[in-house]
Amino acid sequence: MLTTCSSAIVLTVNGEDHMLVVEPNELLINVLRNELGLTGAKYGCGTGQCGACTVLVDGEPVLSCITLAVAVDGKEITTIEGVAGADGELQPVQEEFLHENAIQCGFCTPGMILVAGDLLKRNPHPSEAEIRHHIKGNICRCTGYNGIVRAIQKAAARQGELRSDGIADREEAVSR
């Protein structure tokens, strides 16, 4: 039911536009999970401390459990469901998470993969320290992090190979 306080918003989620009517205090995570059925982002601490609810808003990692849905009206949201190709083909970082046993219970994994992707976009050749620094907002209680760090290192190396094969990013090559 529409109340005077409800707002109509448009979210572009994983490339698809959704018109939604939300309460002004509704959290982005609840809209994604309950309205759109995208249960990849997890509800962990609910206070912005654990990172399980991470999604990308206009390409930047954001904690959806402390973000109001109305506040991201008109923005592009990427959830873990939007990371793989349309044909289901996994990104290198996703494959390396599988190969390196970087996933155990899986609760932190969607956030970890989005944050790892954000790191590799900003910094294609991160050091181990830079990787560990970048994932500090995402807590994993199973793996001890070593598998996650290895997975991100291997994904970085694979992306480097793709680039040296001449497939990627001329602009970046020029800027270096």
Partner 1 sequence: MTDMRYMRPRSLKEALEMLGEHSPGAKLLAGGTDLIPLFRAARYSSESSLAGLGSAGGCKCGDCRIVPFPDVLVDVGGLDEIKGIRRSDGFLEVGAATVIADIASDPLLNEEVPILAAGAGSIGNPLIRNRATIGGNLASAAPCADTAPPLLALDAIVQLASPEGRRQIPIADYFLEYRTTSIRETEMITGLLIPIPSERSAGSFEKVRLRRSGAISVASVAVMLELDAATCLKARIALGSVAPIPLRAAAVERALEGRRIEGEVARACSRLVQQHISPIDDIRGSADYRRWVTEAVVARNILKSAGIEGTD
Q: Which residues bind partner 1 (CB under 8 A)?
A: 3, 5, 7, 23-25, 27, 46-49, 51, 54, 60-63, 66-68, 70-71, 73, 115, 133-134, 136-139
Region of 127 please: left (phi>0), alpha (psi -120 to 50) or beta: beta
Nearer to partner 1 (CB atom), residue 51 or residue 147: 51
With respect to partner 1, which residue has the nearer C-beta, 83 or 167? 83
Dist. CA 148–CA 126, nearest whole Å: 14
The answer to whether the CB of 140 falls within 8 A of the CB of 105 is no
How far apart (Å, rounded) are the C-alpha atoms in residues 137 and 140? 10
Q: How far is the CB of 105 from partner 1 (least distance, A)?
A: 20
Residue 23 vs 95, nearer CB to partner 1? 23
Nearest CA-CA partner of 19 in 7, 37, 33: 7
Least distance CB 24 / partner 1 (angstroms)? 4
